[in-house]
Amino acid sequence: MRHPEPVATATELAAASAKPVVGRVSHKGQQTKQAIVEAALALSSQVGLEGISIGAVAEATGRSKSGVFAHFGSREELQISVVREYFRQFEQEVFYPAMREPRGLPRLVALYDRWMNVVANEMQFGCIFISGAVDFDDRPGPVRDTLAESVTIWLSAVVRAIAQAKQEGHIQADADVHQIAYEVHGLILAVHYEARFLKKPGSVQRATAGIRHVLQRYAEPKALAQFSLV
């Protein structure tokens, strides 16, 4: 999702060192841009990704429209920046901590548990990936592409974690890793609908139980017993 910064040449480094004031201005500009993105992300929890605009963010941050526009150039680029920031935070809360767990069921369970924690915390405001899919599912363009790319990257990471659990002998050898990921993703989507839209109590707990049922159906009994999942 995040493109690597280009490697500076020796000439560029020398020029930068000769003009420290420009460097300070650039750094301040990046800080300002990041602050605007974070404010826009917070605003999206109230109005959705579709509700984000240069004017709305300018009003929310107490800045001029021209000042916000100077950092992004268009409403579309602002929305894309919000999606990328949401995904960056999602990775920090879910993916990277789970990767510190051992390969196999421990890592897989950590992914699901942290994913569900994010879902539970977002019940009041909603998820950009889900609300954005509704807003942009039939609207081709860069915003939709960025949303779809983010979700695809995340679901690919889930599939990879399931495949690793299979390699470790924790998942049955004939199990379809894509089917397992599909079933769990379905539970995540269902808990959003039941808890956020229908306001049904206990929805998160039911989804968590559903995930455990999926693991119990596909995992090897010895692995379930070893990691106390039975």
Give residues with Cβ within 8 angstroms of 210, minimum separation 6.
Answer: 187
Angle at 158 between CA 152 and CA 160, to 5 degrees: 100
Cβ atoms < 10 Å from Cβ of 13? 10
> Is residue 4 a part of any domain in this protein?
no
Residue with tokens 């790319």: 149
Residue 116 sits in which domain range? Answer: 10-226
Predicted pLDDT of residue 145: 96
> Is residue 184 a part of any domain in this protein?
yes
Predicted pLDDT of residue 23: 52
Angstrom distance (rounded) from CA 146 to CA 130: 13
pLDDT values of the chain reduced to their tens digit, one per residue, 230 residues: 434 333 343 334 334 444 444 455 477 888 989 999 999 999 988 888 888 999 999 998 899 999 999 999 999 999 999 999 999 999 999 999 999 999 999 999 999 999 988 988 887 777 888 888 888 888 899 999 999 999 999 999 999 999 999 999 999 999 999 999 999 999 999 998 898 889 899 999 999 999 989 999 999 998 888 876 54
- Give the distance from CA 114 to its chain's centroid: 12
The count of domains in the chain is 1
Residue 126 falls in which region: left (phi positive, over 0), alpha (psi -120 to 50) or beta = left
> Is residue 81 a part of any domain in this protein?
yes
- DSSP 3-state of 171: strand
> Is residue 173 a part of any domain in this protein?
yes
- DSSP 3-state of 219: strand
> Is residue 5 a part of any domain in this protein?
no
How many CA atoms, within 13 angstroms, populate the side-chain half-sphere of residue 48?
9
Domain with 20 in it: what CATH number? 1.10.357.10
Angstrom distance (rounded) from CA 71 to CA 217: 50
> Is residue 202 a part of any domain in this protein?
yes
> Is residue 107 a part of any domain in this protein?
yes
> Is residue 2 a part of any domain in this protein?
no
Predicted pLDDT of residue 20: 47
Predicted pLDDT of residue 1: 42
